[in-house]
Structure 1
Amino acid sequence: MAKRFNEESPISDVLKQFISQNKLEAGMDIVNVRDAWKNLMGNGVNNYTIEIQLKGSTLYVALSSAVLREELSYGKDKIIKMINEELRKDLVKSLVLR
């Protein structure tokens, strides 16, 4: 039977420890980047977003509208900065719009 400790810890600390011990940071980063994209871009862009992938430090976003893709390409640096601020870490270095 497992030992019980009398130390009380906030659930957020326990979850952070569990994620780090089981090496789940990469998977959590992928989920967090998708959520950040959806929150920051709003319904107008999300309706045309087909796929969001994070590979290394590059974020790949597939869009169904060529006009929207061209428009967003002008603000790539701003989008990267907004996503990194939302995640509170410097995770995305480049953005590729497909």
Structure 2
Amino acid sequence: MKKSHGPAFRAAQLDLAKCPACRGKAVIRGVFHELACVQCNASGWVTAETGEALSLEVLVTQLSILLQAAEHQIEQLKRPVVMNGPAAQYEQNNRRGAGGSNYTGD
């Protein structure tokens, strides 16, 4: 095992799960009003392995990692699919046909 000093170079991503007490809502319904969930520190998230609440510093980091991953996935889904090869000729209009329509040579 190597000796290491100082913090890790990268923040490790933890597996998060919704809080079983508040079901991820961060509040528990009281008799007359809603109360902050004490099991998850009113965040709605706990560690998946142990079910323990995360400290605020760790929670902010983990939620930021999840948000960045979700934004990256959204950007990947927004990109148009680029076709290559013979299939691209059939999908794009080359304006060589009658009235400027697509001509494929078939």
Q: TM-score, normalised by structure 2?
A: 0.24
- From the CA coordinates, give the structure whose radius of gyration is larger: 2
Q: Which structure has the highest strand share of the two? A: 1
Q: Which has the higher contact order (CA 8 A, sep 6+)?
A: 1
